[in-house]
Chain A
């Protein structure tokens, strides 16, 4: 298991580049299907949970 501290945003997957910026890696997806796919892969790779911010942005967080 990765030992990143809990509560850290490991990645951001968005449909809307204008809504996001900052320190975590940002992935831009063209449509919802691709966004979902990237989020699913990242969640498996990072052993972390995907949360939906309901503004076209998903975040991957380690708890």
Chain B
């Protein structure tokens, strides 16, 4: 900076217009790249907060959890925003700190996984390890989204000024919400009410055998208070997805969270169960809810996210299999 008190003054005197740094129209008021970084950070942090609200459905956050993730989102967006001035300076070495950021975000994944795994031990209805892994991965990925949002916003602010930055930020946040919301069970399966019955000691949901219940009072109670649905996959891909045990555990967990469960430590009979019909691939879900509301149960099942680890697309292999078969015919 030398003898000049204000960078803007220095720039106006000696730098050609194209070389001036910072947001067009704002560089008189803010030194250096502060405005660019600030705009990037604001956009990134806003994205994190909005994404955090979407998280709520699958992972009840607490005030401290919210604060932790907002703070980490702030750091992520700062890293993204700083990259733009670093590149323009040009200080290419500075970009290597993005690698540090990736390390940092992996830590977030571990942190979430550990928290949920330790909570799992005392959970009456288990989330399941697949669901925990999915949630942890989502938290990591969202930080990359935040970093991306702040990066493109800062770049837009640097290159075209404030209005372009606002436009880019809105677009980036919208894209983050849209692309990361993921599929839910309702997208790939039909969920229909089903009937609970007993064939001797075996509890059945329609024709799917679930579990043997020995005590007669328990059977009567289940017949009176229990609810059941059948999840019908729409195609082979969906069938493969709900075949996954982790996915079924996640469905039972979501159902138990939304309609409640009468299960207790000494009432293991009321554990929500999701079992497959081996012939059709349909899955029967049985639960003894606190509130007997079949519509709510169906909604809960439909709202369950399709887990990344469970998603499977065997149908997409068809062209390849067909090609191999045809090749076999020729030879």
Contacts and interface: CB of A to CB of B under 8 A. Distances in A.
B212 interface: yes
Interface string A26-61: 000000000010011001100111111110001100
Interface in B263-305: 265-266, 268-269, 271
Given A51-B201, A52-B200, A52-B201, A39 B215 contact: yes
A47 B124 CA distance: 12
B269 A49 contact: yes
Nearest to A13: B214
Contacts of B218: 50
Contacts of A48: 268
Contact of B215 (A1, A36, A53, A63): A36
A51 B214 contact: yes
A52 B213 CA distance: 7
B2 interface: no
A58 B266 CA distance: 17
Contacts of B265: 1, 47
A63 B268 CA distance: 8
A1 B122 CA distance: 9
B216 interface: yes
B214 A52 contact: yes
Contact of B214 (A1, A47, A50): A50
A40 B217 contact: yes
B268 A40 contact: no
Interface string A13-33: 000000000000000000000
A59 B214 CA distance: 8
Interface residues of A, number: 17
A49 B268 contact: yes
B201 A43 contact: no
A49 B266 contact: no
B266 A52 contact: no
A59 B201 CA distance: 12
B30 to A, nearest CB: 60
Contacts of A39: 214-215
A54 B215 contact: no
A51 B271 CA distance: 14
Contact of A36 (B200, B216, B269, B271): B216
Nearest to B268: A49
Interface string B193-219: 000000011000000000111111110
A17 B269 CA distance: 26
B268 A52 contact: no
Interface string B206-234: 00000111111110000000000000000
A51 B269 CA distance: 10
Contacts of B214: 39, 49-52, 58-59
A19 B71 CA distance: 65
A16 B140 CA distance: 59
Interface of B: 200-201, 211-218, 265-266, 268-269, 271
Interface of A: 1, 36, 39-40, 43-44, 47-54, 58-59, 63
Closest 5 interchain pairs by CB?
Answer: A50-B214, A52-B201, A52-B214, A51-B212, A49-B268
24 contacts: A36-B215, A39-B215, A40-B217, A43-B215, A43-B266, A47-B265, A47-B266, A47-B268, A49-B211, A49-B213, A49-B214, A49-B269, A50-B269, A51-B212, A51-B213, A51-B214, A52-B200, A52-B201, A52-B212, A52-B214, A54-B201, A59-B214, A63-B268, A63-B271
